[in-house]
Amino acid sequence: MSTETVDPRFIDIDLWPTQVAIEAMLEGQMAAMATIRGQAGAIAAAAEAAADRLRRGGRLVYAGAGTSGRVAVQDGVELGPTYGWPEDRTVYLMAGGRKALTDAVEGAEDDAEAARAEIAEAGVGPDDVVIGVAASGRTPYTVAAVEAGRAAGALTLGISNNPDTPLLAAAEHPLLIETGSELVAGSTRMKAGSAQKAVLNLFSTATMIRLGGVYRGRMVGMRISNIKLGKRAVAMVAELAEVDGGTAQAALDAAGRDIRKAVLIAKGMDGDAADVALAEAGGDLRRVIGA
């Protein structure tokens, strides 16, 4: 596996001046990002397919072990605050369970049966999207989760940093990010992990865009959870509805702090009518305003 090989250029990195080592690591991170460019079409196809499933009420199911599993969980937990994605529509399958998010759980990544059992226990089905992430592409737990998800009819994605691996073969949408050897051999939290997070960011953001979470470049599905975001929401409604701040704040209050509904109220729509219109449009504000 290329992610496990030692690059002779960095064999004595522990003897280098710290700044030189950091500059070399930074170059590696930039090179890792460059490997993603060739996967733009595949990521787009996966996002569009995922949005189709999720419109039917499905869930995002993230599966992984170790660093890759933690990177996958990070992507999922950010979708609620950013796009208002419901927590009950996100499932996390982490080898070793929640404890493995902070502690290593010996042997967990080799337990394929545990992954199959967890897919069954979660009731994964045709409306769901299973995303397996493994730098090696061979982690038994992750491969089994994707295989079981696909057998249950779910849409499946596999993200790997090595070619010709079981994970890529198991997934309906294989995404290869061939980042090569690491500066610190086997430390996939570096180039491989950074590239995984970037791919997940691209995939999930594109999926949320297709689901109406973005309108005119704004996160209109954003969850208002603090004062800063409250001010941002008022500015957003004021700009999108072309009203003053006071009107925007009143609309947000009337809408129960739902930005999309507040925009429609600020533009003169009745609250109940706004609910119906957004429901019929699948939450897509552009479709409602266009109509």
Cβ-based neighbours of 15, under 8 Å, separated by 6 or more: none
Query: Please, which pLDDT band fits residue 185 given cuts at 50, 70 and 90?
Result: confident
Contact at 8 Å (CB) between 101 and 130?
no
Indicate the pTM of the whole model.
Answer: 0.92
**Residues labelled as active-site residues:** 78, 109
Contact at 8 Å (CB) between 175 and 157?
yes
Contact at 8 Å (CB) between 159 and 126?
no
Query: Please, which pLDDT band fits residue 7 given cuts at 50, 70 and 90?
Result: confident
Q: In the sheet that 90-94 helps form, which strands lie side by side, from edge to edge?
A: 90-94, 60-64, 129-134, 155-160, 173-176
Query: Please, which pLDDT band fits residue 56 given cuts at 50, 70 and 90?
Result: very high
Q: Which of 168, 159, 166, 149 is nearest to 188 (CA)?
A: 159
Digit-coded pLDDT (tens) for 63-111: 999 999 999 999 999 999 999 999 999 999 999 998 988 887 878 899 9
pLDDT higher than threshold 80 for residue 269: yes
Digit-coded pLDDT (tens) for 203-229: 999 999 999 999 999 999 999 999 999
> How buried is 291 (Cβ within 10 angstroms: 0-12 exposed, 13-18 middle, 19+ buried)?
exposed
Digit-coded pLDDT (tens) for 106-159: 788 999 999 999 999 999 999 999 999 999 999 999 999 999 999 999 999 999
Contact at 8 Å (CB) between 29 and 191?
yes
Q: Which domains does the chain have, with CATH numbers?
A: 2-210 (3.40.50.10490), 227-290 (1.10.8.1080)
> How buried is 4 (Cβ within 10 angstroms: 0-12 exposed, 13-18 middle, 19+ buried)?
middle
Phi/psi at 188 (nearest 5 deg)?
A: -75, 5
